[in-house]
Structure 1
Amino acid sequence: MTAHSMIRPFRPADREACAAILTRAGRRAFHWADWPDFDGPAFDAVTEDEHILVAEIDGRIAGFVAVYTAENFLHHLYVDPDVIGRGLGAALLDEALRRFGPALSLKCQTRNQPARAFYRKSGWLEDEEPGGADSLGAWLFIRSPPEAA
């Protein structure tokens, strides 16, 4: 994270910026798929009943994480492609664990090698067996590190 960045709870005024990040980052992550455009209502639909944190750089939304706390499930973690590599993803992941953990899990597409490497570097553990398949292809569960629990 940079000196002029922060993580805070989502506010309704953040929805369009988060929707744009979901569109751009999703297209990059799932380059093999037909990834949709997200607007505010579509963002609301895919994050319904989730607790959302946003990362800001110089007052601009640069990423978000959304957790469905009823199932300890990290559903979304996306960073604006223009600011990848500044530690925002790791900071969002750490803050999600701190606020909503200690034990969280997520689904990750098996083809999404950059995301899988990111979670491994963060100490998260992949299940040995695939979890299933959806419109983006095969996926597996990844779980927060045992020391977080």
Structure 2
Amino acid sequence: MLIEPYQDAFLPALRNLYLKSRKASFIWLDTAGYELSDFDSDVEGEQIWVAIIGEDIAGFISIWEPENFIHHLYVSPEHIRKGVGCHLMQLAKARYSTLSLKCMSHNEPALQFYQSQGFTRQSKAEDSLGEYYLLTL
């Protein structure tokens, strides 16, 4: 597995991965309005690293660097439980002394993953998508 900084050549695959992963993960939300172009606006201004297995884009992490905030960590459904999320998280931990993120309270698999990586729940809040936890490392 390689972890590389974002390159424009990755854009089509990342758009597909982002759309497919959100639809698979957020089963409690109405995802009918999600579009491929959501990726572009949702990661604007963020530092992005991409996990590559063979010739496949297997996942990505995007970080809003002014706050060391993990805005997105997605793994392609075909590569779940293959260490992709762990490798991306290891990179983030190595580059940033502190990290924080929001995780939807309904997303139990993600909450379990983040807690296994050492994140702790700091607070609970709600936004237009529903209830979430703020986690920090």
Normalised by the shorter chain, which TM-score bucket? Answer: over 0.9
Aligned to 1:82: 78
Deviation >3 Å, runs of 4+: none
Q: Work out the percentage of aligned pairs sharing the same amino acid.
A: 36
CA distance in structure 2 between the aligned counterparts of 1:52 and 1:7, rounded to whole angstroms? 10
Residue 111 of structure 2 corresponds to residue 108 of structure 1: no
For 2:94 and 2:17, how far apart are their aligned partners in 1?
23
Q: Using a 3 Å threshold, how does the CA distance of structure 1 residues 94 and 33 change in structure 2: closer, same or farther?
A: same
Partners of 2:38 and 2:103 in 1: CA distance? 21
Q: What does the per-residue CA deviation read over 1:6-37, in whole Å, with 9 as the maximum and x for residues that have no partner?
A: 10101011111111111111112210112243
Query: What does 1:44-123 align with in structure 2 at a 5 Å threshold?
Result: 44-99=40-95, 101-123=96-118
Tell me the alpha carbon deviations over residues 39-65 of structure 1, each in whole angstroms, 9 at most, x when there is no partner. 2x4312110110000000002211000
More strand per residue: 2
Q: CA RMSD in A?
A: 1.2
Q: Give the TM-score taking structure 2 as reference length.
A: 0.93
Which residue does 2:12 correspond to in 1? 16
Deviation readout 1:72-117 (Å, 9 max, x if unpaired)? 1100000001110100001101112212x11010000111110000
Match of 1:27 in 2: 23
Structure 2: 5+ residue runs without aligned partners? none
| Distance in 1, Cα, partners of 2:35 & 2:52 | 20
